């Protein structure tokens, strides 16, 4: 009962506004279309309810839908958990290891970061997801990951229904010629006749739902594997980038030190249990974290302070070598660039050849940063590479 109440009990009615966003509208629309069409196709044209298999199949479809929506709304409305406004460490001396957030008027707890969309410091922030119109973090990481697992599994089941429905309904209606393939969409050859004939509209709707199901399986399935990869390492996407910059800083200055990620427990199972528990409540309070032996509680935040003080690591200058229109998913930049487009609401910057940007972090095919508008900023800066 406690878990269920966490879904339906909102902090305030303003949380319902999260549904009024293109991300949840599209996500819920895809779920509704695939689930509804799978049930209709199954009952009317593929596996009737009066059979044992048909009844089991129908119950499974409902089960997928309920579990997907449960974890989706859990991730959306329970939220990631925010650092309390005005928070500061119990030991005042520890504040020298932490960054201060002027917006929240509080110190940033270990593993927390400020989200400009939520306008709060998020505990163990991974990213702001437009599909749930909320951040993925400490409290909802498990629900979000389960949603990423269940959605492809449900879509695979639905896709099977769609394919079998079209196959059984069109098997006796296909006629092949030397150069043509004809489909007779009349229901005259069906025995016994279905309550509603499988006509052209049903065929088009089923084919459309099949495309949605297959696309969702691929896209969401890839996100699931990415999330599981960082969960088994007990990292977030932001922390992976911090670790990468730490190694870059050590290599650049040829320092005699090794950066050890403090929150990796050294065991995938222990890291897994940090997020997934039988009670559904993640371990800890989101402010204090267990660390591996030999590490400092503030090792990661100390590294962030070092990177913030190091202008070379914090921002790298890149020179633009080709024009970029600022489109969200540019097809003219290659298939890999198109499919690895960041799933974020951050605006794309229109660039022209010869301009300069300051990159604060990046992926293999994408960079995050700002365009340099003032030439005085270029003075004294090291240029890393060109893009």
pLDDT at 318 over 90: no
pLDDT at 159: 96
**Domain co-membership, 74 together with 154:** yes
pLDDT at 190 over 80: no
pLDDT at 194: 65
Per the residue annotation, which of 101, 115, 121, 129 is the catalytic one?
Answer: 129
Measured between alpha carbons, how far is 66 from 68 in angstroms, rounded to an integer? 6
β-strand partners of 294: none
**Domain co-membership, 290 together with 153:** no
**Domain co-membership, 150 together with 220:** yes
**Domain co-membership, 300 together with 344:** no
Asked if residue 7 belongs to a domain, the reply is no
Asked if residue 3 belongs to a domain, the reply is no
Reported confidence tier of residue 2, pLDDT bands at 50, 70, 90? very low
Asked if residue 321 belongs to a domain, the reply is yes
pLDDT at 200: 84
**Domain co-membership, 337 together with 204:** no
Q: Are 387 and 356 in contact (CB under 8 A)?
A: no
pLDDT at 157: 96
Domain that holds residue 281: 92-122+235-310
Asked if residue 210 belongs to a domain, the reply is yes
Of 89 and 385, more confident: 89
**Mutual angle of helices 268-275 and 200-231, in 10-degree steps:** 120
**Domain co-membership, 306 together with 324:** no
CA 177 to chain centre: 47
Identify the CA nearest to 69 among candidates 12, 130, 8.
8
Asked if residue 304 belongs to a domain, the reply is yes
**Domain co-membership, 273 together with 378:** no
Q: Is 75 helix (H, G, I), strand (E, B) or coil?
A: helix
> Where is the domain boundary, 310, 339, 368?
310
Of 18-27, 197-206, 214-223, the least confident: 197-206
Across residues 28-37, what is the average pLDDT?
96
pLDDT at 207 over 70: yes
> Where is the domain boundary, 290, 310, 330?
310
Identify the CA nearest to 82 among candidates 97, 98, 96, 101.
101
pLDDT at 15 over 80: no
pLDDT at 230 over 90: yes
Across residues 156-167, what is the average pLDDT?
93
Highest mean pLDDT among 63-67, 183-187, 288-292, 364-368: 63-67
* CB hemisphere CA count around 6 (13 angstroms): 19
Q: Are 154 and 224 in contact (CB under 8 A)?
A: no
pLDDT at 296: 82
Q: Are 170 and 182 in contact (CB under 8 A)?
A: no
Across residues 303-308, what is the average pLDDT?
81
Asked if residue 2 belongs to a domain, the reply is no
**Domain co-membership, 180 together with 226:** yes
Average pLDDT of the chain to the nearest whole number: 83
Q: Is 106 helix (H, G, I), strand (E, B) or coil?
A: strand
**Domain co-membership, 44 together with 143:** yes
pLDDT at 182 over 90: no
Q: What is the pTM of this model?
A: 0.81
Q: Which residues make Cβ contacts (< 8 Å) with residue 77, sequence separation at least 6? A: 7, 10, 15, 18
pLDDT at 375: 55
**Domain co-membership, 251 together with 225:** no
**Domain co-membership, 241 together with 225:** no
pLDDT at 385 over 60: no
pLDDT at 188: 40
Number of domains in the chain: 3
Measured between alpha carbons, how far is 187 from 168 in angstroms, rounded to an integer? 12
pLDDT at 193: 60
**Domain co-membership, 208 together with 245:** no
Q: Are 9 and 188 in contact (CB under 8 A)?
A: no
Strand order in the sheet with 356-362: 367-371, 356-362, 316-319, 383-386
Asked if residue 117 belongs to a domain, the reply is yes
Across residues 59-84, what is the average pLDDT?
95
pLDDT at 365 over 50: yes
Across residues 161-181, what is the average pLDDT?
71
Q: Are 198 and 207 in contact (CB under 8 A)?
A: no
Q: Is 129 a catalytic residue?
A: yes
Rg (CA), the chain: 26
Question: pLDDT tens digits, residue range 263-301?
Answer: 999 899 999 999 999 888 888 899 999 998 878 888 888
> Where is the domain boundary, 280, 310, 340?
310
Asked if residue 4 belongs to a domain, the reply is no
């Amino acid at each position: 009962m406690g878990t269920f109440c966490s879904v339906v009990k909102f902090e305030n009615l303003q949380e319902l506004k999260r549904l009024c966003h293109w991300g949840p509208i599209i996500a819920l629309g895809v779920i509704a279309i695939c689930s509804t069409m799978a049930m209709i196709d199954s009952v009317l044209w593929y596996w009737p309810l009066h059979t044992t298999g048909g009844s089991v199949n129908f119950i499974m479809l409902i089960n997928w839908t309920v579990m997907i929506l449960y974890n989706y709304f859990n991730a959306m409305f329970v939220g990631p958990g925010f650092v309390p406004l005005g928070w500061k460490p119990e030991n005042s001396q520890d504040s020298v290891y932490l960054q201060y957030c002027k917006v929240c008027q509080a110190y940033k707890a270990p593993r927390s970061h400020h989200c400009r969309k939520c306008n709060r410091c998020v505990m163990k922030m991974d990213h702001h997801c437009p599909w749930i119109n909320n951040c993925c973090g400490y409290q909802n990481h498990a629900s979000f990951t389960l949603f990423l697992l269940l959605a492809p599994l449900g879509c695979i089941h639905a896709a099977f229904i769609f394919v079998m429905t079209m196959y059984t309904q069109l098997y006796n209606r296909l006629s092949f010629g030397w150069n043509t393939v004809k489909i007779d969409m009349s229901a005259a050859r069906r025995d016994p006749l279905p309550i509603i004939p499988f006509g052209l509209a049903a065929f088009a709707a089923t084919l459309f739902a099949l495309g949605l199901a297959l696309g969702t399986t691929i896209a969401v399935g890839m996100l699931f594997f990415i999330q599981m990869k960082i969960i088994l390492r007990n990292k977030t996407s932001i922390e992976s980038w911090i670790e990468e910059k730490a190694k870059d800083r050590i290599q650049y200055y040829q320092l005699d030190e090794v950066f050890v990620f403090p929150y990796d427990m050294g065991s995938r199972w222990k890291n897994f249990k940090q997020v997934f528990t039988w009670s559904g409540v993640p371990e800890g309070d989101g402010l204090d974290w267990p660390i591996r032996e030999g590490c400092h509680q503030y090792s990661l935040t100390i590294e962030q302070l070092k990177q913030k003080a190091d202008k070379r690591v914090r921002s790298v200058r890149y020179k633009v070598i080709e024009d970029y229109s600022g489109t969200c998913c540019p097809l003219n930049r290659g298939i890999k660039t198109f499919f690895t487009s960041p799933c974020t609401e951050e605006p794309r910057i229109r660039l022209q050849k010869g301009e300069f940007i300051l990159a604060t972090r990046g992926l293999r095919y994408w960079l995050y940063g700002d365009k340099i508008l003032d030439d005085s900023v270029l003075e004294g800066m090291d240029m890393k590479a060109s893009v």
